[in-house]
Amino acid sequence: MRAVRLHEHGAADVLNVEEIERPTPGPDELLLEVAAAGVNPVDTYFRDGSYEPVGLPFTPGVDVSGTVVETGEGVETFEAGDRVFGTGIGNGGAQGSYAEYATIPTDRVVHLPDDADLLEAGAAGVAAVTAWRALIDHADLEPAEYCLVHGGSGGVGHAAVQIAAAVSARVITTAAPEYHDRLEALGAETVLDYDRDDLADAVLEASDGGVDAILDHRLDDYLQFDADVAATGARVVGIGENSPDPGFSNDGVARSKDVTYTFMSMFNTPDLRVPLRGVAYLMETDALSIEVARSYDLESAADAQRDVMAESVFGKLVLEP
């Protein structure tokens, strides 16, 4: 079979397509014919060595959708021909989806509804599960609450807008002007240009004085901003930053409102099947669609990894073997 491989850590040009033997599923694993593999920033961290992989050489890729070809020993809930999707990220994560075939443990994959698109599902894993964990598990988002999603056009952001709308929250998000109409179509009540000088005032006006839940992907830019626009008792969930040393210029604002901050990583998800099933349900009911900005073949995996770090796109990038 054809698979993207790397034999050393480095820049994207260490990725090359090779012919290797098709893997065999181990106990409690599935062998999938891969339909699509999401391209995520985390894939580049495994490639360049920022995150240490199990060993070299290896095939990258944590998000996957496809059809079950073979089941390993002990598998009872899946059979050949089932359409599935999932993500290998988690404690003891699995990789290998940049290939024509891949194995994945059964505790990182769920059945895909018949009407759901395999291409969208292949891109859903990291983005949609992160959004689900942030808003449902950590922020405890409730109907009619105001929810601010920073960067609504990104992979996690556009999934979060839809998940928040699905629980009947009132969604405020930020994005470049060319994406405003599309985000409104996905359920955002208010879409604001993140470059406007009066952004905090605009958020406060749109939320009747303060937001109840905030999803923040750039804590080094917005940690203080979040406190400034928060309502009393607000919950802020941080999922990332560009600089590892975010800080308040005035933490008294957060204390005066009893703001709760949670900094999360999808790696700590206790059972990935729980949010994956939630995502599958929303996809089945047309409450969630994963926007695929661009698709690449295996030979273009290096370009895809460069683009996911360098370009601003609406939604997700995927590989199709």
Which CA distances in Å does 6 have to 16, 47, 96? Answer: 7, 8, 11
Name which of 98, 45, 8 is nearest 297 in CA terms.
98
Residue type, 282: L
Cβ–Cβ < 8 Å for 110, 273: yes
Q: Torsion-angle region of residue 287: left (phi > 0), alpha (psi -120 to 50) or beta?
A: alpha
Q: Which two tokens stand for residue 41?
A: 């920033």
What's the predicted TM-score (pTM) here? 0.95
> Band of the pLDDT at 53, cuts 50, 70, 90?
low
Residues carrying CATH 3.40.50.720, the chain: 127-267
Residue 295's DSSP bridge partners are 318
CATH of 2-112+291-319, one of 3.90.180.10, 3.40.50.300, 3.40.50.10470, 3.40.50.720: 3.90.180.10
Tell me the CATH number of domain 127-267, given options 2.60.40.10, 3.40.50.740, 3.40.50.720, 3.30.450.20. Answer: 3.40.50.720
Report CA 313 to chain centroid distance, whole Å: 14
Beta pairing, strands 101-105 & 29-39: antiparallel
| φ, ψ at 182 (rounded to 5°) | -65, -35
Cis preceding-peptide flag for 57 (omega within 30 of 0): yes
Burial class (CB in 10 A: 0-12, 13-18, 19+), 285: exposed
Confidence band of 179 (pLDDT split at 50, 70, 90): very high
Contacts of 247 (CB under 8 A, 6+ apart): 223
| CA pair distance 315, 87, nearest whole angstrom | 17
262-280 pLDDT, tens digit per residue, is 999 999 999 999 999 999 9
pLDDT in tens, 286-309: 999 999 999 999 999 999 999 999
Q: How many CB atoms lie within 10 A of CB 255?
A: 11
Confidence of residue 251 (pLDDT cuts 50, 70, 90): confident
pLDDT tens per residue, range 218-248: 999 999 999 999 999 999 999 998 888 888 8
* Closest by CA position to 30, among listed 60, 70, 1, 59: 70
Q: By percentage, how much of the chain surpasses pLDDT 90?
A: 89
Q: Which of 30, 154, 45, 156 is nearest to 97 (CA)?
A: 30
Distance CA 11, CA 129 (A): 27
- Helix, strand, or coil (residue 297): coil
| CATH 3.90.180.10 domain residues, the chain | 2-112+291-319
Residue 117 CA, distance from chain mean position: 17
DSSP β-ladder status, 292-296 and 316-319: parallel
- Between CA 292 and CA 259 the distance in angstroms is 35
Spatial contact of 34 and 64, defined as CB atoms under 8 Å apart? yes
Q: How confident is the model at residue 80 (pLDDT cuts 50, 70, 90)?
A: very high
Q: Which two tokens stand for residue 249?
A: 């210029």
